Amino acid sequence: MHYMELVECIHKNMPNCIDYKNKIILAPMVRVGTLPMRLMALSYGAHIVYTEEIIDWKLLKSERYVNDILKTIDYVDKTDGSIVFRTCNEEAGKVVLQLGTASADRALQVGKKIQQDIAALDVNMGCPKDFSIKGGMGVALLYDLDRAKSILKTLVEHLDIPVTCKIRILPELNETIRTVKELESTGVAAIAVHGRTKIERPRHLPHPEIIREIVKAVKIPIIANGGSNDIHKRADILKFRDACGASSVMIARAAQWNCSIFREEGLLPIEDVIHEYLRLSVDYDNSPSNTKYCIQMILRDLQESELGRKFLDSQTLEQICDVWNFGSYCRKKQLEYHNAGIRGRRQACPCIESTPSDDGCPTKKAKTIDSMLLDGVIEHNISFIRVNYGDDKDLPKSKLYNYTAKNKLKIPNYNVIHKDKLFRAIVLVGNGKYSSSFWEKNKKYAEQSAALTCLLHLGIVRKEELIMNGSMIS
């Protein structure tokens, strides 16, 4: 399926409205609600899935890209190649993007930009974290009702998709009811209610009786949230919904711990869930750090087991997969994507501009110091992965230093290029210049990857070894 076919397919399957009645929903969870977890929830029986909260400015500075290789639509951070939001046809009409915002103008810009790729837009008005509150986002909006209503009303009036919000209850019932009615008046399609106050945490009991009163006071669907401590099987989800008298129910931590909670047939063993999550992470080229975090949430106390400790030592997607004997599939898939020319973290490259001419336009003849440094460089796409080296004496820079000392050469000389929060190093050894084309996120790692490139060229490390430990793709 090519570019326009993919776009048309996703748009065809994206309805103009979404029904919030009688639904079991994957709740928005930071770092958890990325594409692999959302797809897994849908496959197990969730009806609607929410993304993690994404801050408005992250989406505004991202670039929309139709990924023919993964059959996805990606919103990419242009500075480092990271994925801000990724979706695919399998969740069309079922994915709700949760937005962190304190500005009606920015929220509308995001909505206009992304509405073609989502089923609905939700405004986070329930997050109690300091980051959100200090930025006027999350639960802070419940204490700035005029701003909250302005954001919702602006979105409802100007977007072609439904708009919702997710809130927490307030300390007083009457104030909670008044606030919900004010939010309903903006025209939102539904309101999700976490049954705890701003200061209450998961260890505190939720308040289904408050949600029941909210349901009685409004006409739109209310989605109950906050019952994970008592949810151990799918029947418990429905029990919590009924206790709240809500139209639908939204599950966070219970789904995070074992996503098969959505299955009518019952829970699957944790190992089966992890295998399925890893398959989706590989198939959709999910970032290693996000994959690792989500598996940590699944393992919980099992992180202290022998297998858990081995997992915690992993750093790349291949290494994570190796723990569950899934590494060969991962390497095969990554090589397939690499050969197909996938855009991703390995292809992230900041713009190195040429020197402007007298008329202000770049000239091909003039070169910056950076581009001059790269002239004649021997390079490979190699990343430095710290977990591969147990001792400082085994580090690439240490090995390269020992090599030069043994062969009576000048000690390695490193030059570092710093652009758009990314780093690349060039190391001079003998008459050669060596650099990795992989842009690292700090100076030290950039120097190590440059040294590793030189060691590969000198035959001190083998390509097969680098492929196996995830530093290099063939």
Give catalytic residues, as residue numbers: 127
Would you call 233 exposed, middle or buried from its count of C-beta atoms within 10 A (0-12, 13-18, 19+)?
middle
Radius of gyration of the chain measured on its C-alpha atoms: 25
User: How far apart are alpha carbons 372 and 113 in whole angstroms?
Assistant: 39
| Residues 29, 54 contacting (CB under 8 angstroms) | no
Residue 289 φ then ψ, to 5° = -65, -40
**Look-up of token digits 């129910």:** 249
User: How far apart are alpha carbons 347 and 341 in whole angstroms?
Assistant: 9
User: How far apart are alpha carbons 82 and 59 in whole angstroms?
Assistant: 12
Length of the chain: 474
User: How far apart are alpha carbons 455 and 272 in whole angstroms?
Assistant: 40
User: How far apart are alpha carbons 206 and 224 in whole angstroms?
Assistant: 10
List all residues 6 or more positions away from 462 whose beta carbon is below 8 Å from its beta carbon: 456
Residue 32: half-sphere exposure toward Cβ, Cα within 13 Å: 22
- In DSSP notation, 284-312 reads TT--HHHHHHHHHHHHGGGGGSHHHHHHH
**H helices present in 98-250, as ranges:** 104-114, 130-134, 145-158, 173-184, 208-217, 234-244
Residue 268 in tokens: 């699957």
User: How far apart are alpha carbons 337 and 44 in whole angstroms?
Assistant: 27
Buried b (16+ CB within 10 A) or exposed e, 384-413: bbeebbeeeeebbbebbeebeeeeeeeebe
Nearest to 38 by CA among 118, 114, 108, 101: 118
Nearest to 288 by CA among 255, 306, 314: 314
List all residues 6 or more positions away from 106 whose beta carbon is below 8 Å from its beta carbon: 56, 57, 60
